[in-house]
Amino acid sequence: MPIRVGIPRALLYYYYFPLWKEFLERLGAEVVVSDRTTKGILTSGVEHCVDEACLPIKLAFGHVKNLVDKGVDVIFLPRIVSVAQREYICPKFLGFPDMVKQNIPGLPRVLDTTINVRKKQQDIHLFTREVGALFNHGAIKSRLAYLLSMPTHFQYISLLEQGYLPEEAMGILKGKKIKENPVATDLKVAVIGHPYNIYDPFISMNLINRLRKFGAEVITADNLTEQMVNEGVKRLPKKLFWTMSRRMTGGALNLHDRNAVDGIIHVAAFACGPDSMTGELIERYIRRDGKVPFMNINLDEHTGEAGVVTRLEAFLDMLRWRKKAV
């Protein structure tokens, strides 16, 4: 019987799932993903997590709980310290495995090996070795499994850069055909936010699909190349040390500078630390120039869907009206 390894459909799932899945399968695991977010999953997350945590962490708790209920043998919760040189993810990612272990009862074994390439990219082999050990593979074989999985990761990233969103890109990797958006689009809108906020239809109140239905083409920071992102953040007085926030900020500013979009929607999570800083920077830079309309949406457990829909419609109307006026 292969070891059943559960991966929560939360946090960095949206960047690394194809890579992690293949890597684990090459090591001989059977990979199980938690269900799509539902009210129930969020509620169970909220129950197990401190009130003050941000929405995405609460949701991730819910997904871990979902995996516990599915009876997986191992939960894959790497401690993601850094995925890029001289950068971090948010402090909460650093402590997440411990937060989970001290709060969710009945956990199976947790794989909380550290991923930290802050100093150098090659440090990833520390991670592959430790994960491989769980499956009784030596360092070299584990490393090889990882290297052999990299092409999938690159393919996935290149699909994102071609304009597909994570869900679609993962579909294509599995050989699925992607349906064209049946609605004709006359606007292009950037949606800027943490991947686990904007790509989770439940948490984002289906924001991206709604925009598409309203006739807007959606682009996110993940559809841009690393180079474009870095163009965007060039003007900052100091390097942004959060990988995802750097991508979001750079993406927004690059799209803005190139006049590549008709409007920018920033999606922030309730009580998110980095969002409170970069959201503020993005908004101030964009408003000062005054050439691309900007809207901010705050997500929390209680955000009313109706209110957001009304605001979205009004925003798109305004973009259309502006387009006609010039």
Partner 1 sequence: MKVTFPHMGYMYVSLKGMLEYLGIDVVVPPACSKKTLTLGVKHSPEFACLPLKLNIGNFIEAKELGADTIMMAGGCGPCRFGYYAYVENEILKDLKVDYNLVVMEPPEKHIGELLGRIRKITGNRPWLQIIKALRFGFLKAKAVDEVEVLSFQIRPRELVRGSTDRALQKAINLIDEAKTTTELTIALERAKELMRVVPAERERPALRVALIGEIYTLLEPYANVNIERHLGQLGVEVDRSMMLSQWVNDHLFMGLVRNIPSSDRFKKVAAPYLNHFVGGHGLETVGSAVWYARQGYDGAIQVLPFTCMPEIVAQSILPKVSAEVDMPIMTLIMDEHSGEAGLITRLEAFIDLLKRKKEQKEALTS
Instruction: Compose the 266-305 pattern: x for residues touching partner 1 by CB under 8 A, - for all others.
Output: --x-xxxxxxxx-xxx--xx--x-----------------
Q: Rule CB under 8 A: say whether 264 interacts with partner 1.
A: no
Judged by CB under 8 A, the residue of 120, 174, 179, 238 near partner 1 is: 238
Residue type, 260: A
The listed partner (ligand SF4, partner 1, none) that binds 284, CB under 5 to 8 Å by sort, is partner 1
The total of other beta-carbon atoms located within 10 Å of residue 174's CB is 8
The listed partner (partner 1, ligand SF4, none) that binds 212, CB under 5 to 8 Å by sort, is none
Closest CA to 91 of 221, 277, 265: 277
* Closer residue to ligand SF4, CB minimum distance, 29 or 59: 59
* Count of residues of this chain found to bind partner 1 when the rule CB under 8 A is applied: 44
- Residues 81-120 touching partner 1, rule: CB under 8 A, are 81, 86-92, 94-99, 102-103, 114
Judged by CB under 8 A, the residue of 240, 286, 299, 316 near partner 1 is: 240
The listed partner (ligand SF4, partner 1, none) that binds 280, CB under 5 to 8 Å by sort, is partner 1
* Closer residue to ligand SF4, CB minimum distance, 200 or 275: 275
Residues in a beta bridge with 109: 74
For 275-280, which contacts have Cβ atoms below 8 Å and span 24 or more sequence positions?
275/193, 275/194, 275/245, 277/245, 278/240, 278/242, 278/245, 278/248, 278/249
Tell me how far apart the alpha carbons of residues 309 and 7 are, in angstroms, rounded to a whole number: 32
First and final C-alpha spacing in the chain: 65
Which DSSP category does 293 fall into?
-
Which residues contribute to the site for ligand SF4 (CB under 6 A)? 54, 56-57, 90, 92, 194, 269, 272-275
Closest CA to 262 of 210, 317, 223, 208: 317
The listed partner (ligand SF4, partner 1, none) that binds 170, CB under 5 to 8 Å by sort, is none
DSSP one-letter string for 249-273: HHHHHHHHHTT--SEEEEEEETT-H
Residues contributing to the site for partner 1 (CB under 8 A): 49-50, 52-54, 79, 81, 86-92, 94-99, 102-103, 114, 236-238, 240-242, 268, 270-277, 279-281, 284-285, 288
